[in-house]
Structure 1
Amino acid sequence: MRRLTITTLAAGLLLALTACSNDPAAPTVSKTSSSPEPVATTSSSSPSPTARDTTYKLGETAKVTTDDATFTVTALAYTQPVKGPQPPDPATQGGDVWATVEAKVCSVSGITLTVTQFPWSLAYADGTVVKVTGSTGGDLPKPEFPMDQPVTNGRCIKGKIPFPVMNNTRPERVVYAPEALGATPIEWTVPKQ
């Protein structure tokens, strides 16, 4: 199973999705454009989605529908380097500068969601994945994306998520992969500059 990264669904949703992962009515992910067709589905009877089906441009929104909730998720921007409280330590944090992903999650309908930074990560061309440190507060870029924040229907949570990265390389993709979904990760392409 995938490790939880940034936005985690409420405990009830997590249990429901874990218990129903083989259910034909499993979660779907779709672009919020005018096309009503699902982009990715976790149903065992459906073909696997291609990377093109679950990859977006920064700023595009993915709509996720489960048995218990419908919500949207967007990677709005990627910035590297960013001033932080101090440069990260490559020996302990794996990077020499801070980067941020500005993210937004909105609850559309269903149960109350709980968001966190942990479903988010950065993916590089060589297969390297950089996960969040879980650091909050201090001089980290504001506004920060919250940890363990409930989001009720019709409300959104938005903020910046810090990542320790090496200054001389940029990731290819921002990845959103909450374990509770059991779906193909949602990805946004990071521009080369």
Structure 2
Amino acid sequence: MRTRTTAAAATALLLALTACSSSGKPEKITVTVTQTVTAAPGKEADAARTDSALKMGTKKDVVEPENDLHVTVQALAYQQPYKGPQPQPPEDFQGGDTWSTADIKVCNIKGADIHVSQFPWSLAYSDGTTIDITGSSGGDSPKPEFPMDKTLKSGRCARGLIAFPVPSDKRPESLVYEPEGSQPTEWAIPKA
């Protein structure tokens, strides 16, 4: 799903000017002037941003008017280490020595069915490293889990936890949502 934002509106203004031709007769000239107006983000959007990342809990609207689609995506909370029933520690190949979780909610407000998954989500660190989901689900993963692959009809939501294997001595800077073919959206992770 692609995100499109209308940031400018154009207004046309017609001006009639009178000039003299070489024959001395007045000549009517029509000039079209186009003014570009840039829409400023609302105060609510400004307050929700923290260094270009959204504040945890802020809803992100994804609207595609040409497809009559409206979806909201929300990162509700981040927890490190995960404080619920502990799954087995991450395996060496997964990286990290403890589990963290992100509480996610996606709603199909209006339009065609959409598919939701954990795969567009990752963690970003200030040193440029990222941690992706493991692709594992079920078993002793933190519950309730955000779906790995689910169809959402219009008017329905999906909510749950996504687990990340993280190093316990390092905290991510942001939670990133980047569906294929779309620009990433980030939520700032509060300091511990």
Common fold: TM-score over 0.5: yes
Structure possessing the higher radius of gyration over alpha carbons: 2
Seen in structure 2, the aligned counterparts of structure 1 residues 59 and 112 have a Cα distance that, compared at 3 Å, is: same
Match for residue 177 of structure 1?
A: 178
Tell me which residue corresponds to 2:115.
Answer: 114
- AA aligned to 1:86 is Q
**What is the alpha-carbon distance in structure 2 between the residues aligned to residue 130 and residue 86 of structure 1?**
18
Q: Which runs of 5+ in 2 are unaligned?
A: 8-40
Q: How many residues align?
A: 153
Hey, which of these two has a bigger chunk of helix by percent?
1
Letter paired with 2:167? M
1:44-84 deviation line (CA, Å, top 9, x unaligned): xxxxxx9955x211101110112322100000000111254
1:191 aligns with 2:157: no
Higher strand share: 2
Does residue 103 (structure 1) correspond to residue 104 (structure 2)? The answer is yes
Is the Cα–Cα contact under 8 Å of residues 117 and 149 in structure 2 kept in the other structure? yes
Alignment of 1:72-151 (within 5 A): 72-82=72-82, 83-89=85-91, 91-151=92-152
Partners of 2:110 and 2:147 lie apart in 1 by 20
2:168 corresponding residue in structure 1: 167
Give the 4+ runs in structure 1 shifted more than 6 A: 36-39
Counterpart for residue 4 of structure 1: none
Structure 2 partner of 1:27: 4
Identity %: 48
- Per the alignment, in what secondary structure is the counterpart of residue 92 of structure 1? helix
Cα-Cα RMSD? 2.7
| TM-score under structure 1 length normalisation | 0.72
Q: Give the superposition deviation at 1:154.
A: 1.2
TM-score, normalization by structure 2: 0.72
Whether the aligned pair in 1 keeps the contact of 2:98 and 2:166 (CA below 8 Å) is yes
